[in-house]
Structure 1
Amino acid sequence: MLLAIPAMIENILQVFIGVVDTYFVGKLGTEAIAGVGITNLTMNVNIAFFLALGIGTTAVVSRYTGAEENDKADHAVKQSVIMALLIGLIFGSINLIFSRRILQLLGAEDGVIEYALPYFLSVAVPSVFLCVNMVLSSALRGAGDTKTPMKVAIISNFINAILNYILIFGVFSFSGLGILGAGLATTISRIISVILLVRKINSEEIKMNISIFEEWKIDFKMLSSITKISIPAALERLIMRSGQLIYGGMIIKIGTEAYAAHNIAGTIETFSYLPGMGFGVAAATLVGQNLGKKKEDEAQRFGLMSYLLSTGFMVIVGVVFYIFAPFLASLFTKDENVSNQVVQVLRIIAWFQPFLCITLVITSALQGAGDTKFPMYSSLIGIWGTRVLGVYILCIRLGFGLVGVWIAYAIDITVRGAILMIRYLRGKWKNVNIS
């Protein structure tokens, strides 16, 4: 609970940053909102790789922390930062060189591109700061500290909100920069987050050797260990994103109302993810640390307890979804047909919270052990073999509409959840070698 609750709050705050940005940019007009939205589509691809590197960092740092090999944990953090700088600069360079082409490829019209470019260049190009931010936060979580990333997220939110107002609209004699100001506010808040995280990691409480004043050397063995864990995690994210893109296109074919209802239901559903993501962080940390201590059975118990606690939270969310589905739908739309479809979907979602919890918490537990290949394979089977195929059969061929889409989703979650739980209970992940 001490690990999970700060992680849950941090996830809420990360969502809130997007809400604040959309609120302020919304004052500039619909093209500005579209510009931010289309930039975020690109950033989602970048973030998939940044998250994967964070997973590898957590797995390695938690294992060495549990084994009380602090020098190796410190060394792993430094190598992860080197990799974060490299990956962040590569993605930033690609975003800089191909900025207009990327926006055109995503289908942005000329008017939207003119709005999107300043925001895209000020957010996507310096994405190295986001990558380093995520890696440092992952390192702290691996060491058992989830409170610091939460506190930094609170400060980042506060700074982002203030800078959004000042830089977009201006104060006193400063006239404001419009949508460019929104992008600069986001990047400045990320730079400050990195500074705060570096200070914490180099404090007496958590002494990790990543000082910029000391000699930096690339350790290819350690980089290989982190990469071995990170690459399958990155592929898993890409499998999920590509699958979502494909079946999202199928939903568009049903009609505008169905697509609107799908997005509304998906937005509401994200709130049920927060407990699973928070307890997933706890599971990854505790599983990794106990494996480092050579306490394999304790590691398994911590993972299962994280799952059971998270399920309790998510079942409550599911009950709320089922009972208050009409009210929740009414918050987003007044169209009766759209609202009815949202209600149907939310009540399907409500029944499958325990299985959804498995895909979040048990996946994180396996990744914390360094077993990232199996979740990747399960996502490939679940997303492409069950969900995409299921959406095509139920939605397109049999004409079940949006209900068919979410039935396919439920089948995917159930099958994938069962596969992951069987893997976890069998315990093969206990023998994964991270070095």
Structure 2
Amino acid sequence: MFLAIPAMIENISQVFIGVVDTYFVGKLGTEAIAGVGVTNLTMNVYIAFFLALGIGTTAVVSRFIGASDNENANHAVKQSLIMSTVIGLSFGLINLFFSKRLLILLGAEDRVIEYALPYFLAVAVPAVFLCVNMVLSSALRGAGDTKTPMKIAVLANVINVILDYILIFGIFSFNGLGILGAGLATTTSRVISVILLLKKINGKETKIKVSIFNQWRIDYLMLKSIIKISIPAAVERLTMRSGQLIYGGMIIKIGTEAYAAHNIAGTIETFSYLPGMGFGIAAATLVGQNLGRENKDEAQRAGLMSYFLSTVFMVFVGTIFYVYAPLLARIFTEDALVIDQVVKVLRIIALFQPFLCMTLVLTSALQGAGDTKFPMYSSLIGIWGIRVLGVYILCIRLGYGLVGVWIAYAIDITVRGVILMTRYLKGKWKNISI
């Protein structure tokens, strides 16, 4: 609970940043919203790599911290920072030189590109700050500190809100920069976050101490350990993103109302993910640290306890979804047809919260142990073998519409949840060396 609740608050803050940006940019018009949306499609691909590097960092750092080997934990953070800087700058250069081509490739129209380009350059070119931010936060979590990333995420949120208003619309004699201002606000909040995180890891109260003034060298063996964990995690994230794009295209073919209902239900469902993500972070940290202490049974108990606690939270959220589905749908739309479909979807989601919890928490627990290949394989089977194929059969061929889409989703998370639980209980992950 001590680790998970701050992580949940941090995740809520991250979700809120997106909501605030969409709200303010929405005042500029439909093209501006589309411009932000098409930029986020690109950023989501990059974030898959950044998250994967963060998973590798957490797994390695938590293992060394558990073994009371702070020197190697610090060394691992340095290697992750070197890697995050290289990856972030590489993506930034790609965005700088191929920005317009990337937007055209994503299908953006000329008027959307006109809005998207300034925002894209302001957010995607300085991607290095987001990458470093995520790696530093992951390192602190691996050391058992989830409060600092939470506090900094909340502060970044506040800064983003203030700067969004000032830079988009202007204040006093300053006229505002429109959508460019939104991009600059987001990047500025990320730069401040990086500065604060670097200050924290150079402080006296943390187990990780990585001074930017100390000697830095590339350690290929340590990099190999981190990459070995990170690559399968990246493939898993990209598998999920690519699958979502494919079956998203199938949903568009059903009709506008169905696609609107799907997006509304997905937005509401995000809030049920938050406990699972928070307890997943707790599980990854505790599993890694206990394995570092050679306390394998305690590592397994920590993961299972994280799952049970998360299930309590998520079943509670699911109950709210089931009972108040019509009310939640009306927050987003007054269209009776859309509301009817949203209600059906939310009630399907509500019934499968324990299995969704398994996929979230146990995936993180296995990744914390360095077992990232098995979750990758389960995602490949679940997303492509069950969800995408299931959407095609139930939705397109049999005509069950949006309900068919979410039944395929429910089957996917149920099968993956059972597979992951079986893997976790067998305990082969306890013997993975980092």
TM surpasses 0.5: yes
Encode CA deviations 1:81-103: one digit per residue, 9 max, x unaligned.
00000110111111111100111
Partner of 1:273: 273
Q: Does the 8 Å contact 1:75/1:209 carry over to 2?
A: no
Cα distance in structure 1, aligned partners of 2:25 and 2:401: 34
Cα distance in structure 2, aligned partners of 1:394 and 1:430: 39
- Report the secondary structure of 1:399's partner residue: coil
- Report the secondary structure of 1:98's partner residue: helix
Cα distance in structure 2, aligned partners of 1:324 and 1:166: 37
Q: Does the 8 Å contact 2:143/2:207 carry over to 1?
A: no
Partner of 1:346: 346
Partner of 1:260: 260
Partner of 1:90: 90
- What root-mean-square deviation, in Å, do the aligned CA atoms of Structure 1 and Structure 2 show? 0.8
Report deviation, 1:207: 5.0
Question: What amino acid is the match of 1:348?
Answer: I
Q: Does the 8 Å contact 1:257/1:338 carry over to 2?
A: yes
Q: Does the 8 Å contact 1:284/1:368 carry over to 2?
A: yes
Alignment coverage as a number of residue pairs: 434
Cα distance in structure 2, aligned partners of 1:320 and 1:345: 13
Q: Does the 8 Å contact 2:88/2:128 carry over to 1?
A: yes
Partner of 1:21: 21
Partner of 1:6: 6
Cα distance in structure 2, aligned partners of 1:247 and 1:190: 32
Runs of 4+ in 1 over 6 A off after TM superposition: none
Encode CA deviations 1:89-142: one digit per residue, 9 max, x unaligned.
111111111100111111111111011111000000001000000000000000
Partner of 1:145: 145
Report deviation, 1:331: 1.0
Cα distance in structure 1, aligned partners of 2:314 and 2:407: 19
Report deviation, 1:173: 2.1
Report deviation, 1:58: 0.2
- Equivalent residues in 2 for 1:371-386 (5 A)? 371-386=371-386
Partner of 2:430: 430
Question: What amino acid is the match of 1:105?
Answer: L
Partner of 2:34: 34
Encode CA deviations 1:306-339: one digit per residue, 9 max, x unaligned.
0000000000111111111111111111111111
Cα distance in structure 2, aligned partners of 1:395 and 1:171: 50
Partner of 2:132: 132
Partner of 2:415: 415
Partner of 1:329: 329
| TM score, norm. by length of structure 1 | 0.99
2:221 is the counterpart of 1:221: yes
Q: Does the 8 Å contact 2:143/2:208 carry over to 1?
A: no
Q: Does the 8 Å contact 2:140/2:208 carry over to 1?
A: no
- Report the secondary structure of 2:370's partner residue: coil
Partner of 1:283: 283
Segment of structure 1 superposing worse, 272-281 or 332-341:
332-341
Partner of 1:72: 72
2:400 is the counterpart of 1:400: yes
Encode CA deviations 1:239-298: one digit per residue, 9 max, x unaligned.
001111111111111111111111111111111000000000000000000000000000
Partner of 2:249: 249
Q: Does the 8 Å contact 1:13/1:157 carry over to 2?
A: yes
Q: Does the 8 Å contact 1:54/1:138 carry over to 2?
A: yes
Report deviation, 1:176: 1.4
Encode CA deviations 1:365-421: one digit per residue, 9 max, x unaligned.
000000000000000000000111111111111111111111111100100000000
Partner of 2:197: 197
Cα distance in structure 2, aligned partners of 1:333 and 1:51: 33
Encode CA deviations 1:188-246: one digit per residue, 9 max, x unaligned.
11000000001111111115343222221000000000000000000000000111111
- Report the secondary structure of 1:204's partner residue: coil
Partner of 1:116: 116
Q: Does the 8 Å contact 2:311/2:354 carry over to 1?
A: yes
Partner of 2:298: 298
Question: What amino acid is the match of 2:152?
Answer: V
Cα distance in structure 2, aligned partners of 1:400 and 1:26: 33
Cα distance in structure 1, aligned partners of 2:304 and 2:208: 30
2:187 is the counterpart of 1:187: yes
Cα distance in structure 2, aligned partners of 1:86 and 1:63: 25
Partner of 1:206: 206
Cα distance in structure 2, aligned partners of 1:226 and 1:31: 41
Cα distance in structure 2, aligned partners of 1:331 and 1:178: 27
Cα distance in structure 2, aligned partners of 1:219 and 1:143: 21
Segment of structure 1 superposing worse, 2-11 or 26-35:
26-35
- Report the secondary structure of 1:212's partner residue: coil
Q: Does the 8 Å contact 2:17/2:157 carry over to 1?
A: yes
Partner of 2:309: 309
Q: Does the 8 Å contact 2:170/2:176 carry over to 1?
A: yes
Encode CA deviations 1:10-51: one digit per residue, 9 max, x unaligned.
000001111111121112111111111111111000000000
Partner of 2:240: 240
2:62 is the counterpart of 1:62: yes
Cα distance in structure 1, aligned partners of 2:344 and 2:106: 31
Cα distance in structure 1, aligned partners of 2:191 and 2:297: 41
Q: Which residues of structure 1 form unaligned runs of 5+?
A: none
Report deviation, 1:354: 0.2
Question: What amino acid is the match of 2:110?
Answer: D
Cα distance in structure 1, aligned partners of 2:309 and 2:423: 20
| TM score, norm. by length of structure 2 | 0.99
Cα distance in structure 2, aligned partners of 1:342 and 1:167: 36
